[in-house]
Amino acid sequence: MVVQNQNQHQNQKYLIIGQGAIGLPVTNTLADQGFDVTGLARHKRDHYDLATNAQFLQCDALALTAEQLKNFSRIAIIVTPDDYSKVGYENSYLKICQHLASLSDELPNLERILFISSTGIYGQDNGDWIDDTVVPSSLDDNSTSNFILKAEQALQNGFHDKTIIIRPSGIYGRNRLMRVRQAQKDEKEPIARKHWTNRIMDSDLVTIIANVLTTAAPKPLYLATDYLPVTSFELTTWLSDQLGSTNPVIDDRKTAVTGKRLHSNIPCDWLTFPDWQAGYRDILQHSDFEIK
């Protein structure tokens, strides 16, 4: 964890909208470092394992008023939809960002508003290399990722250069074991040889968000991903070897190169797990599932 100089921020107030699997540890990280931080969520405080020295605001983000927000200097929006449908994405990501943007003229103390977006907004799907200069290719107007991109644009239109965007790749961690569970199966579906994937350890994402909120001069856009893209076939083969299960077979029907390769612009010392092998070694050492 990169600890910022708290003395530089003693007069600042932080608001973390969303107290889920990423938002809650961000709030607790800032609280543990001595920052004046408030976590916002719809349920009561006792629903969350919130640090005792963190403040709490129970509220629907869509009902926030300028009066409630006027004293905050830095805000992070870390939300997920109630359901993973187009309506769910629109009602969470897009409408929350549109609502906050509508209050921009009434928030003179706000210095920075941070939105946790997604690298899913990049429609590129030919194994392309993507860095922070690449413009997302066209998305279907009704795709869920399009609502996330529109949410970014709503904040940028409302808050201009106060807006900071973080686009995480696939989030994994000790309690996010989908790939491990798939690799553990002896009977596996055939896998395309050249489908590129990218990932970021959940604990590293928390570090990234906390550092972007507190650093003196953040970039306008971060690609929150580790330094080593990997194909699904290579990842599953490696995990299968570690778990003692059968290796996957190649799907000969899928010969095209697909997916994307993300070029991280995250500072090296912000990542505990700079590549997927380091991350999955940690998971295999600390998770409580049975290894063959």
pLDDT tens digits for range 140-165: 777 899 999 999 999 999 999 999 99
Alpha carbons 146 and 148: distance in angstroms, whole number: 5
* 96 within 8 A of 42, measured Cβ to Cβ: no
Is pLDDT above 70 for 174?
A: yes
Whether this prediction's pTM lies above 0.75 is answered by yes
pLDDT digit string, tens, across residues 244-273: 999 999 999 999 999 999 999 999 999 999
Per-residue pLDDT tens for 71-103? 999 999 999 998 989 999 999 999 999 999 999
The SS3 call for residue 104 is: helix
Q: How distant, in Å, are the alpha carbons of 43, 126, 154, 265 from that of 139? A: 34, 15, 17, 24
Domains and CATH numbers, the chain: 11-173+199-226 (3.40.50.720)
For the chain, what is the mean pLDDT?
A: 93
**How far, in Å, CA of 243 to CA of 47, rounded?**
36
Among 62, 12, 6, CA closest to 37: 12
Residue 22 scores a pLDDT above 50: yes
